[in-house]
Amino acid sequence: MMPMQRFRLPNRQIVAIREAQTRDAAAILSTLNQIGGETDFLTFGGGELNYPVEAQEHIIEAFAIRDNSVMMVAEIEGKVVAIATFDGAPRARLAHTGELGISILQAYWGLGIGRRMMDMLIDWAKSSGIIRKINLRVHEKNERAIKLYEKLGFRQEGVISREYQMGGQFFSNIWMGLAIDPPDSTD
Ligand SMILES: CC(C)(COP(=O)(O)OP(=O)(O)OC[C@H]1O[C@@H](n2cnc3c(N)ncnc32)[C@H](O)[C@@H]1OP(=O)(O)O)[C@@H](O)C(=O)NCCC(=O)NCCS
């Protein structure tokens, strides 16, 4: 379980960051579909996630029941403005790893929400007793995201060329990773 946390943003609004519930399904879907149209740095464009709300409910449940996975939302005045996920690998030999994703509505970029969500997700991973490595993929031109991840200690581990194709151009994806070790571990 991840306890809810509330923060005051520089614009004085209060953001609540908490685990996603199935009742958030429609809001999550529409927020993701909006963000897809606001950035070139996600794997989907605006309105491209055209599956039904029930499918999103199943996705939320699937995250909730796995010990090594979590889906989080950030809410401002009852509106879902951001989603972050850690998708833990299902097989035993990989179950200590997983992939992180984070998406925030453009109107809320640069306010510290990404930093807060990442901090909470890393704390959750540290206290999970399972997670020992967080992986993520980031578009090579996504400077804001790369800066945020590097500030948190993520290191670039590899480059996959031609992962994105947009407007007749290819872009690479950078794999980044953060080791999660207990304080007394030397592994
Ligand atoms: C990338 C994203 C998650 C960052 O979250 P955010 O809430 O905007 O970022 P924060 O306000 O927490 O800023 C965190 C750090 O990012 C960097 N940053 C913020 N704004 C920046 C800007 N305009 N240019 C470059 N770096 C910037 C800074 O290093 C900042 O740390 P600082 O405030 O201590 O200087 C968010 O902008 C987003 O969802 N973008 C669209 C989707 C996306 O790209 N997702 C990531 C896919 S891998």
pLDDT tens digits along 54-102 = 999 999 999 999 999 999 999 999 999 999 999 999 999 999 999 999 9
Please enumerate in sequence order all residues whose Cβ is within 8 A of that of 50, keeping only pairs 6 or more positions apart, or say none: none
- 187 pLDDT exceeds 60? no
- Residue owning the nearest CA to atom 30 of ligand 1: 148
The DSSP code for 166 is E
Burial (CB count within 10 angstroms: exposed 0-12, middle 13-18, buried 19+), residue 152: middle
pLDDT for 186? 58
- 143 pLDDT exceeds 70? yes
pLDDT for 183? 73
pLDDT per position as a tens digit, 42-61: 999 999 999 999 999 999 99
pLDDT for 7? 98
The residue whose CB lies within 8 Å of the most ligand 1 atoms, and thus the one to mutate among 9, 17, 35, 144, is 144
**What is the number of the ligand 1 atom nearest to the C-alpha of 142?**
44
Domain boundaries, the chain: 5-132
Residue given tokens 């948190």 in the structure block: 152
C-alpha span between 157 and 145 (Å, rounded):
15
CATH code at 5-132: 3.40.630.30
- Percent of the chain having pLDDT more than 70? 98
